[in-house]
Structure 1
């Protein structure tokens, strides 16, 4: 069938999400307030005062049994007595009454409720969980308990306990902590920063961080999102929502409690290195979030995001009226790994970076120096710092800077960002910068942080869109062997693999190891060592015990043994010390290995740890016995590709030692990165592996070698939504969906799309004629940018799938024949599809087969229905949809489009 079979998704088909009943929460027409509105100073009265002061245009209804009217507001005994069904119910009653009020709200048909009451408990019969069960049964959404409320300034809605109503703006704030939210709102009030909405989540029963991210990611009133949290309950939902939001707009995250004591009992080096704060940081990085460390840095981010959009480039030019203050700013930038712009040519004006205008520089001097910097090509942004003096007025300088920026930008298509600092407390300067919508700061350090926030955000976006290298074709792990090894150990009740099993597991994933022989006693160890010694080598002898994880702690490793007598003596010494220091430990024998001379090899550590929130984590860093003391490590959430693996390596100090220096050749970075990808794949394939520790992993110019390793295992439990590893925070590549189709004497391979398929898609689209492309994308497509293609090939498998059909070309590579994709909404209620196939597969049935496969995937994910938009003239696509059971109808907003829909709940496989 020709590419005319294309059905498409309009307006960004990879970002369509919905959040159930958020319209009732954030845009209510009527609000009911349940609580002591008559008592001055009560929570309910405070919220009522806030609603009235904000000028809420809808109905405000009060429920208070013992009053008929309060301050001109009629009251009723219960929600059922209200004259209007409220969209939103605000609950401020004692804890025991909360379930009763929630039940009344649900029965009345309310859409959402905010529980301002605190301390509802977490036991199954406590008020909180009871209220949640009642609300869930009726589809009532709950915010809280212990919420400080919500505000939507643009809708004149302030149902919060904040001291001041937030001003209207385009930044959304989602905070688990009410006090942190209140602090940010107060800061915004003092600095003229507004919000599209503020949500105080409290002790989450229902609406959480992921829901807020999903909603504000697609809210056209929101340009950036601020996120304040101390914990994540559902890592997979959080990561999916965070990655989707970060692709759409800047998301800044502040986490409280980063340095709480770690109560885990890690049993390997990798487990000890994967501390919770480091895992959270790795998760935020992987999701593309901008992580800040404290409220000062958050305020800096708010100031920046409120007035400046992200921009390309990272070179900063610094302009000041003092050499010292300019150098301090430059020092701060360099310390934070920022980039100074090169000094521009003088051209009759002062030169340098930082550029010093002198202590008495006034407005005209700043204007004259600033204009050429704003138009040059050697810098990407400007930092203008002014220190008030008796000869240089802050307000005058601020106005000169603002006027110059406005004048220069009027003639520019690419408007260079400017960050302003006016030291001191000059109200006139702040007002001038605010009127010009220029980000302004009290100190140079805050301004540098603000500049770097946007640079880091753009870099994170680039990382999210970067196409990874293809994996080597010879990397095909022997998963059957690996699973057999794990299953055998579990059958015998083992929680640690023995050294032979560890070597077998690593070999199954192509990770080079040192040969090993197990010996039950000292004589067997001497016999196993003899062939190596006789050949002129030396051996290492290691204790084997399921109870001794760190062998060196009890002297359980002896090296450079060159005779049988040495081996026997080493075995006696190991046994003696083990019995003395670990009398409870079961010693099952000894491991004998040929000695490996380290030479110029670098000692690294690589492995897997398990975090209670985010699941498996890949750990990399400098290895050796002092690995935890050195603490040079970086963490990454699997699945990894080669780009992510290289980034992981680059975030460690040991990365510099991997480069060549003096007479030491550079280590093989590709081999190290590939090893990390292999460990990531091992984690995806084998949920039973709980911790894996390769220490040391030796690396030089010839590759890598696992010198010592240990693996902890346990039975896996199913969990999470959909298929895949039950504890992966990010859904791994769904390899189980690879298919081979035999259609009209052609063998066609269909598999889920991978990020490295960008080239395949480019070649395919370039081979389609303009009419084919119009049917797929509902309009002409003139260029296929990297960003455009990355959005089609870099998928969040928790929300979307794309299947690509290929066949082997004459050169032995893949040739793309077509693809189908489906993107689910945040609640998995529906998914929207798109499909395109090439002209040379017409009549083969490929389009029908791809649609069938996509529908099967949707059903397996629990998606309620599949829908799409098809041009009315696209009869072949509509015919396929009829054959598959889709209903069809005209799009009321566009008569040229047909809306097609296939309900899946409880249905049988499509087309059967």
Structure 2
């Protein structure tokens, strides 16, 4: 249901509280008190069958006894009564309920399930149960059991934990930081993270969103909402359960062992563009930063202090976090020489000496703000007997207030040691982010830098895939289906090699021997060619061959092969007597002395589905633990980013006499694995370990693939197991045009930047104005990125391409709302191709897609003067009416279910 009725939760006209008593610790009484003290202007009703009056407010025995129907009901009644209250509220037409009561249980037959069954058919939203409640300071609403109402501000807090939400309210009050809303999810029976991210992404009162997460229940919904929200404003998340687990004894692949739950969450947050922090104090630091500063371009920090030691500590922290220390320009050094007394540091950090007063602070701040060599300024004050911390704070805020606007926009962070309340109040009033230590200040600065980089990465155009990126999904599918039909849980080595070959992933050829004698026979031709061979144990019950010493390499004689084969089988029987032994694998030994050992694979997560794993390979892969994870699908840019987040990426570059490895070939393996996971959901685990990489490319020496019947993780359309909706290949098609020609129609891809630029160059200024409702002459990278980088779960853009030339002829797009009820369309055809039927065909396909997605209505706005589009809309069955807010526009709507299919 997503954002449906959520506006009522945060801005109700009336509230009824059910439950409570005159007891001092009564939850219902606390809620009513908070509503009244917050100054809620709407009607407040109190339902209590035992007391006619509490705290001077008359009560009624039942909800229906109120003379009005409340917008919002807050329930604090005992667990056994909650279902009855919810059913009564839903029957009355109440829009939303907040359930503070705990102990409703989970799952079929529980009180929680009964509550859901009573609320959902009537469309009533439920927040909780077992939650703190909701606070919306701008609406003077405090429908919670928090100790106080925070100031109105622009931070939205969404927390699974009531304690964390209450702590942040107290923390914000102590620092004069306000919130647009504070929400505690509790058990999240109905309203969840996805719903609230959708709501606050569109809320103009919210500039940044803070999340405290224990676990995500609907991964695809969360990822879709999080990616959309992160493109609109900063989203900071802290998650509990970071402690890495020990290697899972049940993990039958190295990839699965490396894909610990917290690491998967980290990959999901990273993919969505969220800023993850490590602990609650970091969330406080991020809130301090985001509450007072917007994002900014750049990453170079200038540091100003009245003590050299504290400044150097700040530099140490900056470097430890991977930050960049700004360099002072010669002009700035000259200016500071003239303004400061002798003895200042003449470098960054700028030490203006222990006896610096307000005048010296002001001069240094002015000079550093004017220096184009830095992007932000950290000002530190250490209290001394010679100076006044208050005077220094006043000098800083006065200087900021007097600066011209371009300089005033440069971020300034402050550390005022000594806890001088007057100095802190001065800085708070000027909205200067203030921190208790230099370490937290630098961390706050780096939060903004990381967020900015994440946003820039979201807007980058991925490199094009090579023309020979061709996979044989049909052949791979046949191999997996045949194995499943036999009841196998693992592909045999020959089938594994064939499947990798179908996806263009180089792997060492493999032969299967039943016994040592057959191993010698298979090895003989290789030995006669001068090669050496490797012999390995083959057993579906021994996932890691090294566990039983089941690998022998560089065998150069038939006798060595026979002895190694016999030894391997004997040792396997001794160490794993219950294991099934299917024989031995025989392979040529690959000698690549300057190759790096990597691991690449697919793991399976119970929440997010398939996860790609990459890192340092070999037998000690779990001990080394140099890995990174990513959610599919992947393009080449994301694949290179995955590689770059590991330590092993450093030795992929050239060093000594070792040439650089072919990193692009490594990245292509990751992209192909992602495609494999997309094409064959039955693959539940895959290891390429070791995957050798050198200047000549890549080669998988060993590979294992686990399979199982596909189990759907996500509802609705698209891949049954991907948390991120993959590229919808099924919407590729060829269409016939009115002039007898044909066009190829496909969904837009992230790498279509150049295609769109060439297209816009052939669209007239007037046609651009009709499409975008304003004159457009410059198409920035960010503008085109927003057109080409789509979340296919909610948006689709279909381009028509001329097959002979590859040129773009036109495009249509459809963006669904968060409730999958309505979709807004837009269309643009190349100006020299009007009348060829391209627009008509694209509109028909778009309507077909809306029906496939389950939307009820397609709508759009069309300029009144755009008679051609209006005529086509009428022919397609759209209703056309004047826009009530803008007389220059017409509003067109099409009921999808009744529209004539294309």
Fold shared, TM-score > 0.5 on shorter chain: yes
Other-structure match for 1:643: 637
Does 1:127 find its partner at 2:118? no
Does 1:910 find its partner at 2:901? yes
Other-structure match for 2:797: 802
Q: Is the 8 A contact 1:169 1:196 kept in 2?
A: yes
C-alpha distance in 2, partners of 1:59/1:106?
A: 19
Other-structure match for 1:306: 291
Looking at both structures, which has the greater relative contact order when contacts are Cα pairs under 8 Å and sequence separation is at least 6? 1
C-alpha distance in 1, partners of 2:317/2:582?
A: 57
Q: Secondary structure at the match of 1:530?
A: helix
- Offset at residue 560 of structure 1 (A): 1.2
Unaligned runs of 5+ in 1: 1-16
Q: Deviations over 1:330-356 (max 9, x none)?
A: 000000000111122121425211111
Other-structure match for 2:860: 868
Per mean C-alpha deviation after superposition, the further-off stretch among 36-45 and 490-499 is: 36-45
Q: Is the 8 A contact 1:247 1:461 kept in 2?
A: yes
Q: Deviations over 1:647-680 (max 9, x none)?
A: 1111111111111011100111111111111111
Q: Is the 8 A contact 2:255 2:685 kept in 1?
A: yes
C-alpha distance in 2, partners of 1:884/1:107?
A: 40
Per mean C-alpha deviation after superposition, the further-off stretch among 285-294 and 67-76 is: 67-76
- Offset at residue 110 of structure 1 (A): 0.4
Q: Deviations over 1:198-250 (max 9, x none)?
A: 11110110001111100000100000001111000000000000000000000
C-alpha distance in 1, partners of 2:714/2:512?
A: 40
Q: Secondary structure at the match of 2:888?
A: strand
Q: Is the 8 A contact 1:722 1:860 kept in 2?
A: no
Other-structure match for 2:45: 61
Q: Deviations over 1:449-473 (max 9, x none)?
A: 1101111110000011110001001
C-alpha distance in 2, partners of 1:541/1:371?
A: 72
Q: Please point out which of 821, 825, 832 is paired with 1:833.
A: 825
Q: Is the 8 A contact 1:143 1:204 kept in 2?
A: yes
C-alpha distance in 2, partners of 1:606/1:804?
A: 34
Matches within 5 A, 1:461-476: 461-476=455-470
Does 1:604 find its partner at 2:588? no
Does 1:852 find its partner at 2:852? no
Q: Is the 8 A contact 2:714 2:723 kept in 1?
A: no
- Offset at residue 809 of structure 1 (A): 5.0
Does 1:20 find its partner at 2:7? no
- Offset at residue 360 of structure 1 (A): 1.0
Other-structure match for 2:343: none
Does 1:104 find its partner at 2:81? no
Does 1:664 find its partner at 2:658? yes
- Offset at residue 411 of structure 1 (A): 4.2
C-alpha distance in 2, partners of 1:539/1:264?
A: 31
C-alpha distance in 2, partners of 1:491/1:573?
A: 34
Q: Is the 8 A contact 1:856 1:909 kept in 2?
A: no
C-alpha distance in 2, partners of 1:849/1:588?
A: 57
C-alpha distance in 1, partners of 2:454/2:295?
A: 11
Q: Deviations over 1:786-833 (max 9, x none)?
A: 0000000000000100001111455xxx21100000000111011100
Q: Secondary structure at the match of 1:227?
A: strand
Q: Is the 8 A contact 2:160 2:212 kept in 1?
A: yes
Q: Please point out which of 10, 19, 34 is paired with 1:35.
A: 19
Q: Is the 8 A contact 2:2 2:191 kept in 1?
A: no
Does 1:896 find its partner at 2:888? yes
Q: Is the 8 A contact 1:884 1:910 kept in 2?
A: no
C-alpha distance in 1, partners of 2:35/2:82?
A: 21
C-alpha distance in 1, partners of 2:14/2:244?
A: 42
Other-structure match for 1:157: 141
C-alpha distance in 1, partners of 2:488/2:420?
A: 70
Other-structure match for 1:12: none
C-alpha distance in 1, partners of 2:838/2:218?
A: 38
Q: Is the 8 A contact 1:18 1:825 kept in 2?
A: no
Matches within 5 A, 1:758-773: 758-773=753-768
Q: Is the 8 A contact 2:369 2:407 kept in 1?
A: no
Q: Is the 8 A contact 1:37 1:48 kept in 2?
A: no
Matches within 5 A, 1:310-709: 310-345=295-330, 346-350=333-337, 351-408=346-403, 410-412=404-406, 415-709=409-703
Unaligned runs of 5+ in 2: 338-345
Other-structure match for 2:785: 790
Q: Deviations over 1:276-308 (max 9, x none)?
A: 111111111111111111111111111101110
The count of aligned residue pairs is 890
C-alpha distance in 2, partners of 1:265/1:777?
A: 55
Q: Secondary structure at the match of 2:751?
A: helix
Other-structure match for 2:342: none
C-alpha distance in 2, partners of 1:769/1:843?
A: 15
- Offset at residue 505 of structure 1 (A): 1.0
Q: Is the 8 A contact 1:618 1:635 kept in 2?
A: yes
Q: Secondary structure at the match of 1:779?
A: coil
- The CA RMSD over aligned residues, in Å, is 1.4
C-alpha distance in 2, partners of 1:275/1:909?
A: 49
- Offset at residue 522 of structure 1 (A): 1.9
C-alpha distance in 2, partners of 1:325/1:433?
A: 20
Q: Is the 8 A contact 2:618 2:690 kept in 1?
A: yes
Q: Is the 8 A contact 1:721 1:861 kept in 2?
A: no
TM-score (norm 1): 0.96
- Offset at residue 399 of structure 1 (A): 0.7
Other-structure match for 1:822: 814
Matches within 5 A, 1:273-312: 273-312=258-297
Does 1:75 find its partner at 2:59? yes
Q: Secondary structure at the match of 1:212?
A: helix
Q: Secondary structure at the match of 1:693?
A: strand
Q: Deviations over 1:472-520 (max 9, x none)?
A: 0100111111101111111111100111111111111111111111122
